[in-house]
A and B are shown apart, each in its own frame.
Chain A
Amino acid sequence: GAGVSQSPRYKVAKRGQDVALRCDPISGHVSLFWYQQALGQGPEFLTYFQNEAQLDKSGLPSDRFFAERPEGSVSTLKIQRTQQEDSAVYLCASSPSTHGTLNTEAFFGQGTRLTVV
């Protein structure tokens, strides 16, 4: 596709439910990032992949959060036993650079808005 695609665009989950959020990066992009954007806040880094390798997961808020990118393209962010504080927009971004965002632009998807009720 022409840009970063995320699905679903909106997700309502009952507290305790597991959810899976999908990101289709721009074809050929090596780097992939996940960010969490709470209401009224700026995005916060969650995790970074270079191809299939998860090089940085320091931003994942708890062990209920898990991300994977098994074939170096599509990525899935999974949240287990969702809590109300998980309600946020989850943004995915990709970049052609192996150095992440240092020298090249990161292209963002429209995000998935997760509401936990």
Chain B
Amino acid sequence: AQSVTQLGSHVSVSEGALVLLRCNYSSSVPPYLFWYVQYPNQGLQLLLKYTTGATLVKGINGFEAEFKKSETSFHLTKPSAHMSDAAEYFCAVVPLSGGYNKLIFGAGTRLAVHP
């Protein structure tokens, strides 16, 4: 079965520092890959997604992620953290076989940004 692993349930960075949130998936066939952000008391918002084509995907708010098939990874990065980036981030996949309509989420990583 498909699964998504997010390494680190909590990540803390200084304002202006690099943000790196890790995501690995398990699949023999590369799925479609997503990153969602959840701000307090708000719904999930799509940051970016990888379906086909270029493996480096740019999203909103300066975030980007790179699909690496050899490493089964889709890590999320941002060169310089801002206080407003503090939120919970979820990596998700849509399996290409059978579960075309289901997002399978990781457990999430809570990002804290300190001055």
Asked if A110 and B101 sit within 8 Å, CB to CB, the answer is no
Q: Is A33's CB under 8 angstroms from B44's CB?
A: no
Residue of B nearest to A41 (CB): B107
Binding site for A on B (CB under 8 A): 4, 9, 32, 34, 36, 41-46, 49, 51, 90, 92, 94, 99-108
- Number of residue pairs spanning A and B whose beta carbons lie under 8 angstroms apart: 69
Contacts of A44 in B (CB 8 A): 105
Cα A13 to Cα B105 with chains together (Å):
27
Q: Are B103 and A101 in contact (CB under 8 A)?
A: yes
**B102 and A48: CB pair below 8 A?**
yes
Tier of interface size on chain A: 20 to 34
A sample of 14 more A-B contacts (CB under 8 A), given A44-B105, A91-B43, is A4-B43, A33-B102, A33-B103, A41-B107, A42-B90, A42-B105, A42-B107, A43-B90, A43-B105, A45-B103, A100-B94, A101-B103, A102-B32, A108-B43
Binding site for B on A (CB under 8 A): 3-4, 31, 33, 35, 40-45, 48, 55-56, 59, 91, 93, 99-103, 105-111
A99: B residues at CB distance < 8 A: 100-101
Contacts of B49 in A (CB 8 A): 105
Top 6 closest A-B pairs, CB basis?
A100-B101, A42-B105, A108-B43, A108-B44, A45-B102, A48-B101
